[in-house]
Amino acid sequence: MEIKQVIKYIKNGNQSSALAMTGNMLIAVIEFIAGAISGSGAMYAAAMHSLGDAVNQGFIFMGSVLSQKKPTKRFPNGFESLNYIFSIIAALVVLTMAIETINEGCHLIWHPSEPSRGLLINVLILVLNLVIDGAVLIKAMKEINEDSRVIEKGFRLVLQSFKNVSKAAPPTRFIFFEDLVSVTSALLAMIAVVFTAITQIHFLDGVFTVIIGLLMLWVSFRVGYDNIVELVRSSAIMDNQYHD
C-alpha cells in the first residue's frame, strides 16, 4: 500500500475517535497521578474509564481506517465489516475495565480508603475531563445527525442525536455511548470526591466507583450486542449477493 494512500485513509478515518483517543490518554495519565496522591477510589475509576476510552477509541479509529481498503480477490466484498469487528474488540476492552473498576469499588466499600487529599486538584482535573469529553460528545452528536441527514443546533441537536443514534456509523455510535458514560462518570466522580471530603463518609467513594463500573458494563454490552447484530446482518447480505 502506498504511503499517500495510507495518509488518505487516515485523513478520512473517524476523526471523533482520533480526537477522543488523544484527549483521554492525557486525561488518564493525569487522573491516575491525582488518584495516587488523593487516594480517591472514584478518581481511580474515572482514570480506568479514561484509559479504557483511549484504548477503545484507538481500535475504533484503526477500524475506520482499515475499512476503507478496496476489495481484493480474497475479500471481494471489501473491508467494511472491520468497523464492526473493531467495535466488538473495543467493547471487550470496556468489559475488562468495568470488571476491574467494580472490583475496586467493592474493595473500597468494605475497606474504605484514608480521607482524600488534594480536593481542589481533583475537582480541576475532573472539570478538564468534562470539558474534553463533552467536546468529543458534541462532535459525535453532530456526526450522528450528519449520518442521519438531520441539521439541528442547540438543544435540538442533542435530542436528535439520541433519536438517530441507531442510524449512525458504527465508530460514531461507539464514541457517542462511550463519551456519554465518560461525562456521566466524571460528574459522579466529582460528586464522590466532594461529598466524601465534606461528610467523611468514605465508603461512599466505593459506592460511586461501583456505579461508574456498572455504567461501563452497560456500554460494553450495548455496543457489543449492536455490532454483533450488524456484523451478522452485513454478512447475510454479502452472502446473498454472492449467491445471486
Cell numbers 436528535 correspond to what residue? Answer: 160
Domain ranges in the chain are 3-243
**66: helix, coil or strand?**
helix
Residue 24 has pLDDT above 60, yes or no: yes
- Across the range 40-64, mean pLDDT stands at 75
What percentage of the chain exceeds 70 in pLDDT? 82
Give the mean pLDDT of the chain.
77
- Across the range 70-95, mean pLDDT stands at 77
Q: What angle do CA 130, 131, 136 make, to 5 degrees?
A: 95
Q: Which three cell numbers stand for residue 67?
A: 475499512
The confidence band for 88, taking pLDDT boundaries of 50, 70 and 90, is confident
Q: How far is CA 184 from the centre of its chain?
A: 12
Q: Mind listing the pLDDT tens digit for each residue in 107-152?
A: 888 887 665 566 777 788 878 878 888 888 888 888 888 877 777 6
Residue 222 has pLDDT above 80, yes or no: yes
Q: Mind listing the pLDDT tens digit for each residue in 186-198?
A: 788 788 778 877 7
- Across the range 221-244, mean pLDDT stands at 70
- Closest listed residue to residue 115, CA positions, set 180, 33, 188, 197: 197
- Across the range 90-117, mean pLDDT stands at 79
Domain 3-243 in CATH 1.20.1510.10: yes
Close Cβ partners of 72 (under 8 Å, ≥ 6 residues apart): none
Phi, psi angle pair for 180, to nearest 5°: -65, -45
